[in-house]
Amino acid sequence: MYKIETKRKLAPTINLFTFSAEEVAAKAKPGQFVIIRLDEDGERIPLTIANVDKEQGTISVACHEVGKTTAQLGSLKEGDAIPNLLGPLGKPAAIEKFGTVLCVGGGVMAAPIHFKAKALREAGNYVIGVVGAATKDHLVFLEEMSKTCNELYIATDDGSEGYKGIDFLKDLITKKKIDRVVAEGPVLMLKAVADTTHPLKIPTVVDLIPTMIDGMGMCGACRVGVGGKMLFACVDGLEFDGHQVDFDELLARLKTYTLQEKVAKVFWEEGEKTI
């Protein structure tokens, strides 16, 4: 069993959980993820590792409640335990001295981007952070990012805090000499970041999070089109060259189970465990 050591509310529907998971913590690196299951009949959900404490034998994940299983996780308390936590999965992020690195984290993914930003800063990079969210109430990890990054910029879709939208990135990357862009967040945001950096030929890696099942390269659920090839996000990623990703295909595939997901959430809210 994997005990929840701490649970911290980051935003109304976003929590940061620290799980006791000694073997995972011993190996986990920025950019990797875990797959958890909350009970025997439960769905397996992937979450990106947002921090590791090797001494304490813990890993942290930030989770946004968007459907049945993430809401169920949000209902757990400190001291509760879950039966399955598999990982670390995926390849570690590329961490080396690139020069000036722009780290963009959208929504809940500002927490795992912080884990990468910290490692990139420790590797000797000048790190510029961008944290974005739908509204100011959904901004997370601002304090952590402002401590870790050399500079931090904030953006919201509705302009309730910081820049309105992501258009300011164009100015930012034109003014600064950026050697690499690293982005995690919603697919539409990743696409916007990649479209912005493409004309300037700034190397840009994005973490792709398509629907996953086994997380180990066997089921094919997470296939993504990159540079005309079919790759599996769980074993070939999560980091991919943002200028080569077929974002339209990815966006279409993410809608495959929308109806089933809505039904599962309604049933869970009505007190049913499974459908």
Q: Which residues bind ligand FES (CB under 6 A)?
A: 212-215, 217-222, 232, 234
Nearest to 73 by CA among 34, 112, 105, 110: 34
Nearest to 8 by CA among 67, 65, 77, 68: 77
Question: Is 148 near ligand FAD (CB under 6 A)?
Answer: no
Q: Which is nearer to ligand FES, 46 or 105 (CB)?
A: 46
Q: Which is nearer to ligand FES, 190 or 234 (CB)?
A: 234
Question: Is 224 near ligand FAD (CB under 6 A)?
Answer: no
Min separation Cβ 236 and ligand FES, Å: 9
Q: Applying CB under 6 A, which of residues 86, 154, 221, 254 lies at the interface with ligand FAD?
A: 254
Question: Is 261 near ligand FAD (CB under 6 A)?
Answer: yes
Q: Which residues of 42-67 are buried (b: 16+ CB within 10 A; e: fewer)?
A: bbebbbbbbbbeeeebbbbbbbbbeb
Q: Which is nearer to ligand FES, 172 or 254 (CB)?
A: 254
Instruction: Tell me the pairing of strands 84-89 and 163-164.
Output: unpaired
Residue 255 CB partners (closer than 8 Å, separation 6+): none
- Picked from ligand FES, ligand FAD, none, the partner binding residue 264 (CB below 5 to 8 A depending on kind) is ligand FAD
Q: How far apart are CA 2 and CA 5, in angstroms?
A: 9
Beta strands in 22-109 (DSSP E): 33-37, 45-53, 58-64, 81-82, 84-89, 100-106
**Rounded alpha-carbon distances, angstroms, from residue 22 to 3, 6, 139, 193:** 11, 15, 30, 36
Q: Which is nearer to ligand FES, 161 or 236 (CB)?
A: 236
Nearest to 139 by CA among 121, 176, 169, 114: 114
Min separation Cβ 237 and ligand FES, Å: 9
Residue positions counted in the chain:
275
Q: Annotate each residue in 13-52 with x if it binds ligand FAD (CB under 6 A) or - if it does not, as one string.
A: --------------------x---------x-xxxx----
- Picked from ligand FAD, ligand FES, none, the partner binding residue 86 (CB below 5 to 8 A depending on kind) is none
Q: Applying CB under 6 A, which of residues 28, 61, 103, 205 lies at the interface with ligand FAD?
A: 61
- Picked from ligand FES, ligand FAD, none, the partner binding residue 45 (CB below 5 to 8 A depending on kind) is ligand FAD
Q: How far apart are CA 5 and CA 37, in angstroms?
A: 17
Nearest to 209 by CA among 181, 247, 176, 243: 247
Q: How far apart are CA 46 and CA 126, in angstroms?
A: 30
Task: Take residue 175 and report the two structure tokens written for it.
Answer: 């003014």
Q: Which is nearer to ligand FES, 154 or 235 (CB)?
A: 235
- Picked from ligand FAD, ligand FES, none, the partner binding residue 70 (CB below 5 to 8 A depending on kind) is ligand FAD
Q: Which is nearer to ligand FES, 71 or 213 (CB)?
A: 213
Q: Applying CB under 6 A, which of residues 15, 18, 32, 69 lies at the interface with ligand FAD?
A: 69
Q: Applying CB under 6 A, which of residues 11, 82, 95, 108 lies at the interface with ligand FAD?
A: 108
